[in-house]
Amino acid sequence: MSEASMNNEEIGDYLNTNEKNMRKNIENIPNGRSKNSSVLTDSEAEEYENNKESTESSETPSELEKQEEWVDLLGSGALMKKIIIEGLPDSRPQRNETCRINYTCYLEDETVVDGANNFELNLGDSDVIQGLDVALGLMNLNEKCRLKIEPRFAFGKKGLPPKIPGDCTVIYDVELLYVGPEDTIEELTIQQRKIKGNKKRERGNWWYTRGENNIAIQCYRRALDYLDEVEGGITGPLSENEGKSEVTDADLQSLLEDRVSVCNNMAAAQIKMEMYDAALNSLQVVLRCQPNNVKAHFRKAKVYIGKNDLPLAMKFLQKAKELSPNDIEIQKEINGISKLLDKQKVTERELARRMFNGPKTADRTSVSKNKNGKSKVGIWATLGAVVVVGVAGIVAYRFKVV
């Protein structure tokens, strides 16, 4: 994962580390208020409003100036927060809870580049950029604040063309409108499950295009929670206007098609992360439901290329080619694998020949030449020895005659 991303444990560590620093922003906590509760009663809310009015009238200029100070949420200057309007005390959202916010995103020159009202998200689900996700966990209900987020926790080196350039610090004005419990998925209607599940899938696609494959996989898994009818079943009505709980085959087929799409996309991210076994499991789900899914066959080939099983990779590429004969990308991959297979065959033949037939012909020729050279030397040595013996015999004979 790139430097621009944090996993959920790191975010949790940041929140725990900075909890004490953020307590100074929470004042006028009503007596008897549970610290773990994120919902205020009517009497507590009324007491807070009364305290707020009396406090506002008695605030000194130094106190107002203190409220306008920037707070370093992470201790590194990468995520700064300035409270504009205090929220209800002790009403911070917890992980996975549903939040609704109003937000406006600016560049440092105050150019507005993004914004939304009543935007709904689940805290910690990567539904927004990481800096905003972290900051929301440290906001109280009805709080308004301004955030200054450096690229690492915003849009990174890529930016968000054409509006947000790369390596750009962004400013967010945020208001936390609502905090509620996480959805009970089994009680949602079919249509609600499809909407929320596909929203998570689209967010996963967004992270995937930015190269944040780990975050993309997390989003895809959350999408499957909404689109999978197996765990817990479906107990809610088919739609908001229907009281019946029966689920038809057509309803399940619709969910299945969306789920298959999520699994296919998740496999692509898993391949990028070299999580080949996990990718195979995802693709198995796709091919079990859609045996002729071209993308699944192509990605399965990619998995086996990563595992260096080229014959099996070629098998799935040929299947993909059969289903989509004019796909240039598939043909390009087939050509590349064919060359690699040819090299493998040459290497295997050479190894087999060396194992069973001895060295190459050239090596045998070299050995033969060496033998011939040695035999010629032996012959000349023998002839030389004969000559020497003959000369010695003649000399000895002459001396005897004399």
Q: Which of 140, 166, 182 is the last residue of a domain?
A: 182
Q: Which of 342-346, 353-357, 370-374 has the highest mean pLDDT?
A: 342-346
Give 314-334 as a DSSP string. HHHHHHHHHH-TT-HHHHHHH
Identify whether residues 164 and 216 lie together within a single domain.
Answer: no
Give the integer Cα–Cα distance in Å for 322 and 331.
11
In this structure, is residue 298 part of a structural domain?
yes
Select the more confidently predicted residue: 288 or 252.
288
In this structure, is residue 293 part of a structural domain?
yes
pLDDT at 3: 41
Give the integer Cα–Cα distance in Å for 238 and 331.
45
Model confidence at 249, pLDDT cuts 50, 70, 90, reads confident
Identify whether residues 146 and 263 lie together within a single domain.
Answer: no
pLDDT at 347: 83
Torsion sign across C-alpha atoms 7, 13, 16, 19: negative
Query: Could you tell me which residues are beta bridge partners of residue 102?
Result: 175
Identify whether residues 127 and 214 lie together within a single domain.
Answer: no
What average pLDDT score do residues 315-332 get? 95
Per-residue pLDDT at 400 exceeds 60: no
pLDDT at 204: 97
Model confidence at 245, pLDDT cuts 50, 70, 90, reads low
What average pLDDT score do residues 40-56 get? 47
Model confidence at 349, pLDDT cuts 50, 70, 90, reads confident
pLDDT at 134: 96
- Range of weakest confidence among 213-217, 331-335, 351-355: 351-355
- Range of weakest confidence among 289-293, 321-325, 327-331, 388-392: 388-392
Give the integer Cα–Cα distance in Å for 59 and 51.
12
In this structure, is residue 59 part of a structural domain?
yes
Identify whether residues 127 and 164 lie together within a single domain.
Answer: yes
Identify whether residues 237 and 172 lie together within a single domain.
Answer: no
In this structure, is residue 374 part of a structural domain?
no
- The tens digit of pLDDT for each residue in 73-85 reads 999 999 999 999 9
Let me know: does 304 contact 275? Beta carbons within 8 Å.
no
Burial classification of residue 266, based on how many CB atoms lie within 10 Å of its CB (0-12 exposed, 13-18 middle, 19 or more buried): buried
Let me know: does 197 contact 227? Beta carbons within 8 Å.
yes
Plot region of 304 (φ>0 → left; ψ -120 to 50 → alpha; else → beta): alpha
Q: How much of the chain exceeds pLDDT 70, in percent?
A: 68
Select the more confidently predicted residue: 64 or 329.
329
For residue 23, the domain's CATH number is 3.10.50.40
Let me know: does 40 contact 91? Beta carbons within 8 Å.
yes
Please state, in angstroms and as integers, the Cα–Cα distance from residue 50 to each residue in 30, 46, 47, 54, following that order.
Answer: 11, 6, 5, 6
Identify whether residues 90 and 134 lie together within a single domain.
Answer: yes
Torsion of CA 184, 186, 189, 195, to 10 degrees: 70
pLDDT at 344: 82
Model confidence at 28, pLDDT cuts 50, 70, 90, reads very low
- The tens digit of pLDDT for each residue in 274-317 reads 999 999 999 999 999 999 999 999 999 999 999 999 999 999 99
Give the integer Cα–Cα distance in Å for 338 and 9.
44
Select the more confidently predicted residue: 354 or 87.
87
Beta strands in 86-196 (DSSP E): 98-107, 112-122, 144-149, 170-180
- The tens digit of pLDDT for each residue in 122-148 reads 999 999 999 999 999 999 999 999 999
Q: Which of 37, 204, 182 has the alpha carbon at shortest distance from 120?
A: 182
Model confidence at 401, pLDDT cuts 50, 70, 90, reads very low
Q: Which of 309, 336, 352 is the last residue of a domain?
A: 352
Q: Give the other-Cβ count within 10 Å of 358's Cβ.
A: 11
Q: Which domain holds residue 102?
A: 8-30+45-182
Q: Give the other-Cβ count within 10 Å of 81's Cβ.
A: 24
In this structure, is residue 261 part of a structural domain?
yes
Number of domains in the chain: 2
pLDDT at 52: 43
In this structure, is residue 358 part of a structural domain?
no
Select the more confidently predicted residue: 402 or 112.
112
Per-residue pLDDT at 2 exceeds 60: no
What average pLDDT score do residues 234-261 get? 72
Give the integer Cα–Cα distance in Å for 152 and 76.
11
